[in-house]
Copies of this chain bind each other. A is one copy, B any other.
C-alpha cells in the first residue's frame, strides 16, 4: 500500500496525505484515523504531516471539505438541466440521500464539522433554497399551498431530506444497509409523500 520513495523530499506530500486520509475515512470512519498511521501508510515519518496540517483537526477539516465538494458536485449534477425549483429539490434530496447511503463515514464527518457543513449549507444551496421559497410563495398566492411560513415549509423539507440521510448513516432499523438504488427509491417516495401530505387530520 505504502509506495516507496527515492528522494528525501516527497514532492507532493500534502495531496498524498489528503488522498490517503480521504480513503481511510471513507472506508473505516474518522474515529479510527491516527496521524501516525496515516504517515506510516503514506511512507513518511510521523512528524511529517504536521508540516502540512497544523493539527489533526485541520487534517480532518480538509478531508471534510473534499467530501463536501464531492457531495456538492453530485447535487450540481443531479439538478443540472432541471429548471423548476420543485424538480430540483426532489433531485437534490435523492442525490443527498444516496451520498449518505454510499459514503456514510464521509457524510458523518462533513456533518460533524460545523464550519464545513455550515459552508456547504450556505453557498450554492442557499440559492436553491431561496428559489424554493419563492416557489412556495407563488404556490400560496395561487391557493395551492397551505398558508404557513414559507421558511418553515422549506425547513421541513430539508428536515425530511436530512432525516432520511441520517437514519441511514445512524443505522436505524428499517433503513440500515440500504442499497444505493433503494435509497433513491425511498428518497423519491418520501418527497412525493411530503408534497401530497400524509393527510392525517
Contact = CB atoms under 8 A, between A and B. Distances in A.
Interface in A131-148: 135-136, 139, 144-146, 148
Contacts of A117: 170-172
Given A118-B173, A121-B173, A199-B139, A159 B167 contact: yes
Interface stretch (A15-23, A45-53, A68-76, A150-158): A150-158
Question: In which size bucket is the chain A interface?
Answer: 35 or more
A165 B159 CA distance: 9
Interface in A177-201: 186, 189-190, 192-201
Interface centre among A157, A159, A162, by most chain B C-beta atoms within 10 angstroms, is A159
B118 A171 contact: yes
Interface of A: 86, 111-112, 114, 117-118, 121-122, 135-136, 139, 144-146, 148-149, 151-153, 155-164, 166-167, 170-175, 186, 189-190, 192-201
Contact of A193 (B152, B161, B189): B152
A86 B200 contact: yes
A92 B139 CA distance: 30
Interface centre among A121, A144, A192, A194, by most chain B C-beta atoms within 10 angstroms, is A194
A201 B139 CA distance: 9
A166 B174 contact: no
A186 B189 CA distance: 24
